[in-house]
Structure 1
Amino acid sequence: MTTGNPAEHPEPAVTTPLLSAQGLRVTFPGRRGEAAVRAVDGVELDIRAGEIVALVGESGCGKTTLARTLLGLVKPTEGQVRFSGRPLEYTSRALKAYRRRVQLVLQDPSGSLNPRHTVYDAVAEGLRIHGYGGDERAAVASALSRAGLRPAERFFLRYPHELSGGQRQRVVIAGALVLEPELVVADEPVASLDASVRGEILALLLRLRADLGLSALVVTHDLGLAWNIADRVAVMYLGRIVETGDVEQVLTSPRHPYTQALLSVLPEAPGAPVVLTGEPPDPSRIPAGCRFHTRCQILSSGEADTTNVASRCRTEDPEILTASPVPQVACHWARTTVPR
């Protein structure tokens, strides 16, 4: 929701997103007669060519399920994934072609690299799966060089245990780059790395965007990472995006109480951290009204009562945010107050 003079918030030129989620829902059957789990519960999200979008939220909020659905690894219960304007098809042939254009970078390089495979074989695996007909050695060397492992040939015969954590993550990135994808989905790409190495990997992702025009969805619980790498940020809570927009605007002037709470625990944040009460509700028992209201610091403090929205918070589910790049918030209280 925007405020002020519309001329101050011009609409961006309309272009077809590279990847989009439209009305996406993923529901898993409950066990032994229990209610179904609504892991992704109505998501609209666009990623444009050359753009880095950060998807942030606590563990268990649905980030990884959404990422796996965008990759075609999970078929949505409702809605659709579109790539370059076309709906994703779930035949083996279509998915194989799609995964050449959209690649996954996993969180733990140690777990995603076969300890029995050399670096060369690890990077060449994708080429072999997709029946690459060119010069395999040259393609592997190029991918390793782009990932910052130079000279590439020096790493060909090494095994994962002979590499540092940062080097292993670069091998994983090279394995994604070797197929020359248009977009990568990076699930917590630096979570398992030392602080001294994280900056190097983030700088690498930014350089790949600049040099190759690569787009990325970066899944993370770390808002500091989002600040350093993303163009836009989408904040997810209990299966739904609750705030989205330009990274600077969302992270410097957060409007949703959940985003404010996440930011308050960063070391550089002013004031005392916001301590949320309890754990996120069970996704098979999403509460009525705003799904965040059972933990909301604004509601519990009584501040929402002053704007006469407390009853709406408990009974009315805020509307699902659209895929528009204009900053939006799914919060009754935020929509009745002046942005802080």
Structure 2
Amino acid sequence: MTPDAPAALETRGLEVSFRGRGSGAAARAVDGVDLVLGRGEIVALVGESGCGKTTLARTILALQKSTAGDVLVDGERLGTSSKALKAYRRRVQLVLQDPTGALNPRHTVYEAVAEGLRIHGLVEAEEKRVAQALSLAGLRPPERFFLRYPHELSGGQRQRVVIAGALALEPDIIVADEPVSSLDASVRGEILALLLRLREELGLSLLVVTHDLGLAWNIADRVAVMYLGRIVEQGPTEELLRDPKHPYTRALLSVVPETERLEQVVLTGEPPDPTRIPAGCRFHPRCPVVASGEAARLGIEDACRGTALPVLPASGAHAAACHLPGSASAATS
């Protein structure tokens, strides 16, 4: 994304907290996120399970209410009226990771793809819209699939039906949550190629939510790495994956087959409880740089343990929220 490119979607200081029963501390699932998705751009949001990436995606889709911060579309703050949200949800569509669960087994392919059109009152030329969407998703001739049911399709075909359901509304943005995680390896490449082709043909912007940096390597223009509710590193894909600045990114990247040059890093422990986010760098309890004594040698261990890092600004530049020399963030927030 070039600095002057108009943003299709942006979040500013986005926060989402969940409070349990009683007077316990709130769990900060999203704890201040600035993120930009440019027009025609593919951004991969990467992190372990429980890091907050799905909650962030749901909030961007207006399926989850934020505690603070804003979602902006074309530079304008997203409205909260029913009319504004309905118009927004037509423009921003979700593709789920489990096509079997996303499709009603009692509905035909035609009904599944037409459902969104009917919800939004777009019934004029419905059959033509459904056929066009199926064709764009690679199910040709589309009429051959109209009366088939999900159980009659392969996993890849079911995912294409889900994608067709999103395309039927002619969206500007697609949020794809683990779009290939449930598919066989032989089909994964086909679906990724389809998403790339749709970007080229339709000018779509895609936010791809995944735990797999290998997937990001193959599809994304930029990568944002999330840990414990915050983006800890982001930047152009080639640059970030060739020269990761954050120890967490290095650990995730070390198990990607394409990066044989990196020594495998095994992280100890689990991500901390989001109701008790550690002081200083939130990654320091699991950080290999701290555990190995390297942080002490560099004179940054006290900062790692006690000096908070700011929210990474949304930009196309490569930056990391880390006290290591050479990262973009080393000041208190």
From the superposition, tell whether residues 13 and 289 of structure 1 become closer, same or farther in structure 2 (CA, over 3 Å): closer
* Higher mean displacement: 72-81 or 232-241: 72-81
Question: Corresponding residue for 1:48?
Answer: 38
1:138 aligns with 2:128: yes
Q: How much does 1:33 deviate?
A: 2.6
1:320 aligns with 2:330: no
SS in 2 for 1:227: helix
Q: How does 1:73-84 map to 2 (within 5 A)?
A: 73-84=63-74
Q: Report if the CA contact (8 A) 1:255-1:334 is conserved.
A: no
Question: Corresponding residue for 1:3?
Answer: none
Q: Percent identity?
A: 68
| Residue ranges of structure 2 left out of the alignment (5+ in a row) | 329-333
Q: How does 1:109-124 map to 2 (within 5 A)?
A: 109-124=99-114
SS in 2 for 1:40: strand
Question: Corresponding residue for 2:141?
Answer: 151
- Supply the distance in 1 between the matched residues of 2:256 and 2:172 (Cα, whole angstroms): 32
Paired residues, what number? Answer: 327
**Letter matched to residue 316 of structure 1:** T
Match of 1:285 among 265, 276, 294: 276
**Letter matched to residue 142 of structure 1:** Q
**Letter matched to residue 227 of structure 1:** W
- Supply the distance in 2 between the matched residues of 1:271 and 1:174 (Cα, whole angstroms): 39
Question: Corresponding residue for 2:243?
Answer: 253
Q: Report if the CA contact (8 A) 1:145-1:152 is conserved.
A: yes
Question: Corresponding residue for 2:326?
Answer: 335
From the superposition, tell whether residues 271 and 54 of structure 1 become closer, same or farther in structure 2 (CA, over 3 Å): closer
- Supply the distance in 2 between the matched residues of 1:267 and 1:227 (Cα, whole angstroms): 11
Question: Corresponding residue for 1:5?
Answer: none
What is the TM-score when the length of structure 1 is the normalising length? 0.94
1:294 aligns with 2:293: no
- Supply the distance in 1 between the matched residues of 2:257 and 2:118 (Cα, whole angstroms): 45
Question: Corresponding residue for 1:166?
Answer: 156
- Supply the distance in 1 between the matched residues of 2:221 and 2:129 (Cα, whole angstroms): 30
Q: Report if the CA contact (8 A) 1:307-1:336 is conserved.
A: no
Q: Report if the CA contact (8 A) 2:319-2:327 is conserved.
A: no
- Supply the distance in 1 between the matched residues of 2:181 and 2:5 (Cα, whole angstroms): 33
- Supply the distance in 2 between the matched residues of 1:87 and 1:29 (Cα, whole angstroms): 26
Q: How does 1:68-217 map to 2 (within 5 A)?
A: 68-217=58-207
Q: How big is each residue's C-alpha offset from its partner over 1:232-283, in whole Å with a ceiling of 9 and x where there is no partner?
A: 0000000000000000000111010000000111234335410111000011
Match of 1:240 among 218, 230, 236: 230
SS in 2 for 1:335: coil
Q: Report if the CA contact (8 A) 1:188-1:218 is conserved.
A: yes
- Supply the distance in 2 between the matched residues of 1:185 and 1:217 (Cα, whole angstroms): 5
Q: How big is each residue's C-alpha offset from its partner over 1:11-69, in whole Å with a ceiling of 9 and x where there is no partner?
A: 93423311000010111112333210000000000001000000000000000000000
- Supply the distance in 1 between the matched residues of 2:308 and 2:191 (Cα, whole angstroms): 39
Q: How big is each residue's C-alpha offset from its partner over 1:102-141, in whole Å with a ceiling of 9 and x where there is no partner?
A: 0000010000000000000000000000001420000000
- Supply the distance in 1 between the matched residues of 2:179 and 2:34 (Cα, whole angstroms): 23
Q: Report if the CA contact (8 A) 1:233-1:250 is conserved.
A: yes
- Supply the distance in 2 between the matched residues of 1:196 and 1:285 (Cα, whole angstroms): 42
Q: Considering only aligned residues, what root-mean-square deviation do their CA atoms show, in Å? A: 1.3
Question: Corresponding residue for 1:6?
Answer: none
Match of 1:307 among 298, 309, 314: 298
SS in 2 for 1:103: strand
Q: Report if the CA contact (8 A) 1:256-1:334 is conserved.
A: no
From the superposition, tell whether residues 152 and 80 of structure 1 become closer, same or farther in structure 2 (CA, over 3 Å): same
What is the TM-score when the length of structure 2 is the normalising length? 0.96
Q: How much does 1:335 deviate?
A: 3.3
Q: Report if the CA contact (8 A) 2:39-2:205 is conserved.
A: yes
Q: Report if the CA contact (8 A) 2:25-2:275 is conserved.
A: yes
Question: Corresponding residue for 1:8?
Answer: none
Question: Corresponding residue for 2:17?
Answer: 27
SS in 1 for 2:209: strand
- Supply the distance in 2 between the matched residues of 1:126 and 1:41 (Cα, whole angstroms): 32
| Residue ranges of structure 1 left out of the alignment (5+ in a row) | 1-10
